[in-house]
Amino acid sequence: MSVVKENWQTTKPTIRERSKFMFNNNLFSDVKFVVQMATQGESESKQAIPAHKFVLSISSPVFEAMFYGELAETKDCIELPDCEYESLFEFFRYMYSDEVILSGSNVMGVLYLAKKYMVPSLAEKCTKYLQDNLDPSNVFIILPLAQKYEERNLVDQCWKVIDKQTEEAVKSDGFATIERSLLESVVERDALRVSEVELFKAVMQWATKESEKQGLVADGQVKRRILGEKIVKGLRFPVMTHEEFASVVLDGKILTLDEVTDMFKWFAVKGSEVGFPVSKRGASCRFERCFRFGSVVPGWSNRSSALLFSVNKNILLHGVYFFGSQGNDYLLDLTIISFGNCHTVLSTKGTFSSLPHKSKNYWGFDVLLDVPVSIVQGNMYLITFNIYGPDSFGGRNGKSHVESAGVTFMFEGGEVEQGQLPEFIFSQQE
């Protein structure tokens, strides 16, 4: 029994102070809750928290029904096997004082109790704490709970983190523990910013751990069965390079011989039939395009070239568009350099198939970046490229200043008035 000073009420002038004094106090307590302490190795210990039925009941309709309803609980000691001491302690602290001390170790448990006992104001505090502390390392731990409790704002925030920082998120410890249904949602998602080969590695790690959890040998057939066809068929093998596919995917041994054959046909002849999505992720993001030429003409002879550019607002550069010609492929080597400090911010190369432009009467191809490049307003950037292939369409009457979606692009150099690289694909920096 706690030692209580005589006439303690006189030192607590407000009802809040007096109620707070009764928290975790045996004085006038008429019920105790027995919960498990945090596990230390294999040992388990339990501890009781004294409480007051009246205080709990005026804060929670569930406790009101439990203690004063038609089937009222008569026991003075109640065991709660579904929570731990730290979470219940903070939950009760809030019931007595409107205060709560949240941390990474207790917030999930406190949110569970707030939902279970219908204390929405505390649930809001928990979700705000989770939003404020959300990052790629914990997003796949928080998201399943947010979905379970239908916390829509928190769910949306989780997906924003996953979309923006995909590679870090799928490499986190939490990703390996998610349910297969959530893994399906991730693999189906267009907006992810991650190279497909890195996503494949993360998916394979998930399948390996799930195999081990089920006591199975994690070979290719087992992992494919555990993943299921929806996940395997949702992976975008065609957007990988030939080298990535050969050195990483083949070693996973989850594809059938026919699927491997179809993939090698795809790498040999772009546009051949293949049973996997062929578009790069990021397609569902809101991309803007800055077109810098006044007219387009055929018969441009491709060569090495360079272009200086800057912008008046911070943007994310998701890619660029190059002219091509009907039915032809082009080998491209592209580099972007921060002109002020000569720092290379991007270097990429590959072979691209020319396709008809959606809105114009010419051909060309997008070069979408695996990870968008941050372009800082006012800084000058040099984009250099070597393009090898047949004659293509080309641009004429280029402008030195072009406004697109509220962003002004400024161009300098020999390629401003005519040449290649007609479009910049970007989004505004948040």
- Helix (H) or strand (E) holding 371, with range, is strand 363-375
Is residue 176 helix, strand or coil? Answer: helix
**pLDDT interval class at 31 (50, 70, 90):** very high
pLDDT at position 398 is 92
Q: Please give the biggest Cα pair distance in the chain.
A: 99
As a whole-number percent, the residues of the chain with pLDDT over 70 amount to 94
**pLDDT interval class at 38 (50, 70, 90):** low
pLDDT at position 42 is 52
Cα gap 395→407, rounded to integer Å: 21
Return the CATH number of the domain spanning residue range 8-118: 3.30.710.10
Burial level of 48, CB count in 10 A (0-12/13-18/19+)?
middle
Among 1.20.1270, 3.40.50, 2.40.50, 1.25.40, name the CATH number for the domain at 142-268: 1.25.40
Residue 3 has pLDDT above 60, yes or no: no
**pLDDT interval class at 4 (50, 70, 90):** low
162, 192 contact by CB (below 8 A): yes
Residue 193 has pLDDT above 70, yes or no: yes
pLDDT at position 1 is 41
CB half-sphere exposure, 385, CA atoms < 13 A:
23
Residue type, 33: F
**pLDDT interval class at 343 (50, 70, 90):** confident
The Cα-based distances of 46 to 27, 85, 416 in angstroms read 21, 8, 75
Cα gap 87→270, rounded to integer Å: 56
Residue 202 has pLDDT above 70, yes or no: yes
Nearest to 94 by CA among 71, 70, 117: 117
Residues 6 or more apart in contact with residue 255 via CB below 8 angstroms:
232, 237, 249, 263
More confident residue, 40 or 411: 411
Cα gap 100→120, rounded to integer Å: 14
Name the residue ranges covered by the structural domains of the chain.
8-118, 142-268, 288-428
**pLDDT interval class at 272 (50, 70, 90):** low
Cα gap 38→309, rounded to integer Å: 58
Cα gap 164→148, rounded to integer Å: 23
pLDDT at position 39 is 60
Among left, alpha and beta (phi > 0; psi -120 to 50; other), residue 254 is alpha
pLDDT at position 8 is 86
**pLDDT interval class at 41 (50, 70, 90):** low
Residues 6 or more apart in contact with residue 395 via CB below 8 angstroms:
292, 293, 295, 296, 297, 323, 418, 419, 420, 422
Cα gap 266→127, rounded to integer Å: 46
As a whole-number percent, the residues of the chain with pLDDT over 90 amount to 64
Homologous superfamily of 288-428: PHR domain (2.60.120.820)
Residue 84 Cα to chain centre, angstroms: 29
Cα gap 337→343, rounded to integer Å: 6
pLDDT at position 128 is 93
Residue 283 has pLDDT above 60, yes or no: no
Average pLDDT of span 108-112? 95
Nearest to 385 by CA among 360, 422, 354: 422
More confident residue, 306 or 4: 306
Q: What is the pTM of this model?
A: 0.64
Beta bridge partners of 53: none
- 62 token code pair: 């569930």
Residue 47 has pLDDT above 50, yes or no: yes
Q: What is the DSSP letter of 72?
A: -
Asked whether the domain spanning 142-268 has the same topology as the one spanning 8-118, the reply is no
**pLDDT interval class at 270 (50, 70, 90):** low
Among left, alpha and beta (phi > 0; psi -120 to 50; other), residue 253 is left
More confident residue, 79 or 361: 79
Residues 6 or more apart in contact with residue 281 via CB below 8 angstroms:
189, 190, 191, 192, 193, 194, 196, 199, 236, 239
Average pLDDT of span 305-315? 91
